[in-house]
A = this chain, B = another copy of it.
Amino acid sequence: MTFTHDDQRHERLGMPEAIVCQGKDDASVNLILTELIAKPDCPTLFTRLPQDMFDRLDSALTNELDYDSLSATGILHGPLPKNSGSIAVVTAGTSDLRIAGEAKRTLEFSGFSTSLYSDVGVAGIHRLFDRIDEIKTHDVVIAVAGWDAALASVLGGLVAQPLIAVPTSVGYGVAEGGGTALNSMLASCGQGVLVTNIDNGFGAACGAIRMLNQLKSSD
């Protein structure tokens, strides 16, 4: 097997180099690690690298990674230089932290500053109101929620910032797999709420990076 890296991505799009580990076998990830460890000028984010896969990989390789188990991410040759722009990552419940973490790590790897506001789901809406003024001080807001994902709709009516909604697969029954959260976010009455695939914290971060890069380029 050979591995064809799209190594023009960062230059072309300003987007972080990233490797999705899920769906690859251990041998492939070891091979990719080997190739990229040898390229110190190519900082790379490894996503969807869960602890059990991490433990099975060649430790001589994984020792090179700045690894975070909760978000299942590893950073190689990073982070990138500091960028201006700050992002609020807001979650409905503690079970959403895995995906919120993926977004946060992607942004931090890319040099942006982030703040996490967790456990502010709308079933106890006073928790959200307690923190809404602080949330509004950021350039972009990322809302991460499973179940009915009502958080995105309520936030959509409270903040004027760009708002990216990430549905999570958290929940059982009709919520299982995240389809209800996804549809709820797409059908949100909050104007201009933009949505990613289920559990795609990385994609939400990339969407925010596109905005923040544009902000910078238009200065």
**Residues of A bordering B, CB below 8 Å:** 1-4, 6, 8-9, 12-15, 18, 22-24, 28, 48, 70, 92-95, 97, 118-127, 139-140, 147-150, 153-154, 156-164, 167, 169-200, 202-203, 205-211, 213-215, 218-219
User: A202: which B residues are within 8 A, CB to CB?
Assistant: 191
Q: List 17 A-B contacts (CB under 8 A).
A: A12-B124, A12-B157, A13-B157, A122-B154, A123-B188, A148-B187, A162-B211, A163-B210, A173-B178, A173-B182, A173-B186, A173-B187, A174-B182, A179-B183, A186-B195, A192-B209, A195-B196
A138 to chain B, nearest CB (A): 10
Q: How far is the CA of A170 from the CA of B123 in the complex (A)?
A: 23
Pair B147/A94 contact, Cβ less than 8 Å: no
Q: A148-B188, A160-B210, A215-B214 are in contact. Are A24 and B95 (CB under 8 A)?
A: yes
Q: How far is the CA of A185 from the CA of B48 in the complex (A)?
A: 20
Pair B175/A197 contact, Cβ less than 8 Å: yes
Q: Which of B28, B190, B197 contacts A94 (CB 8 A)?
A: B28
User: A181: which B residues are within 8 A, CB to CB?
Assistant: 187
User: A158: which B residues are within 8 A, CB to CB?
Assistant: 125
Q: Which of B2, B8, B24, B194 contacts A124 (CB 8 A)?
A: B8
Nearest residue, chain B, Cβ from A219? B219
Q: How far is the CA of A167 from the CA of B184 in the complex (A)?
A: 12
Q: Which of B122, B163, B213 contacts A189 (CB 8 A)?
A: B122
Q: Which of B150, B177, B193 contacts A122 (CB 8 A)?
A: B150
User: A162: which B residues are within 8 A, CB to CB?
Assistant: 207, 210-211, 214
By Cβ-Cβ distance, the 5 closest A-B pairs, closest first, are: A192-B206, A173-B198, A4-B119, A194-B194, A150-B150
User: A126: which B residues are within 8 A, CB to CB?
Assistant: 8
User: A70: which B residues are within 8 A, CB to CB?
Assistant: 1
